[in-house]
Amino acid sequence: MYKVFVNDKPLFLTNQIVKETDFQLFLLESVDIKQVIVKMFQNKIPKAFLYYPDEKEIMKKLKAKIPVVKAGGGLVYNKKGEVLFIFRNGKWDLPKGGIEKREEIDETAIREVEEETGVTGLKIVQKLQKTYHVFKRNGRYKLKVTHWFEMKTDFDGIPKGQIEEGIEKVAWLKPDEIKEALTNSYENIKLLFETEKVTE
């Protein structure tokens, strides 16, 4: 099962029919995906399931119905075990951004972390899960697939937020501060910490 966030509300892609209780179920094959997305953005649908019998094909089916944007991002630890966060649009987030031509996704992740935070000396430790969310740009809805990487760095300078990306501040947060920051973050970001060990 996949979880796609639309306006921070979950849209589940599933190959199992579940009895509806507090959500709406749609058939992925025939659904007008834009209508579902619009209703989720308007808060008319709090949670929805898209059903398709073949789990291996389910994400392909969704991607055939909506333009896809690929992005890379980093969950970065310093020597003290603190995690690098950025603050923009009133929420705590992790540095990430879109892939450029002829770039591998791990290169995208490192470049974006460097550009958005000024932190250098990044080394990838491992690949983490992908996250999915729908956003609107120039009147069109798109699916952003973000490939996340756990990284470490010995950087000990002062991180600087990329102004043109609207980043108001960059901070290294300790495990207890992370819990607090996640109460004002995005569902996708919370997912990374559910599977990630926050304490060293």
Q: Which helix (H) or strand (E) holds 48?
A: strand 48-51
The confidence band for 198, taking pLDDT boundaries of 50, 70 and 90, is very low
Q: pLDDT digits over 99-122, tens only?
A: 999 999 999 999 999 999 999 999
- 132, burial (CB in 10 Å: exposed 0-12, middle 13-18, buried 19+): buried
Nearest CA to 93 out of 5, 190, 198 is that of 190
DSSP class of residue 16 equals: S
According to CATH, the topology of domain 68-195 is: Nucleoside Triphosphate Pyrophosphohydrolase (3.90.79)
CB atoms near residue 185 (< 10 Å): 20
The confidence band for 195, taking pLDDT boundaries of 50, 70 and 90, is low
Phi then psi for residue 46, to 5 deg, are -80, -25
Domain residue spans of the chain: 2-65, 68-195
Q: Which helix (H) or strand (E) holds 64?
A: helix 58-65
Average pLDDT over the chain, rounded to whole? 93
Both tokens of 65, joined, read 């119905």
Q: Does residue 196 surpass a pLDDT of 70?
A: no
Q: pLDDT digits over 128-140, tens only?
A: 999 999 999 899 9
Between helix 187-195 and helix 175-182 the angle, nearest 10°, is: 140
Q: pLDDT digits over 43-80, tens only?
A: 999 999 999 999 999 999 999 999 999 999 999 999 99
- Paired with 173 in beta bridges are 83
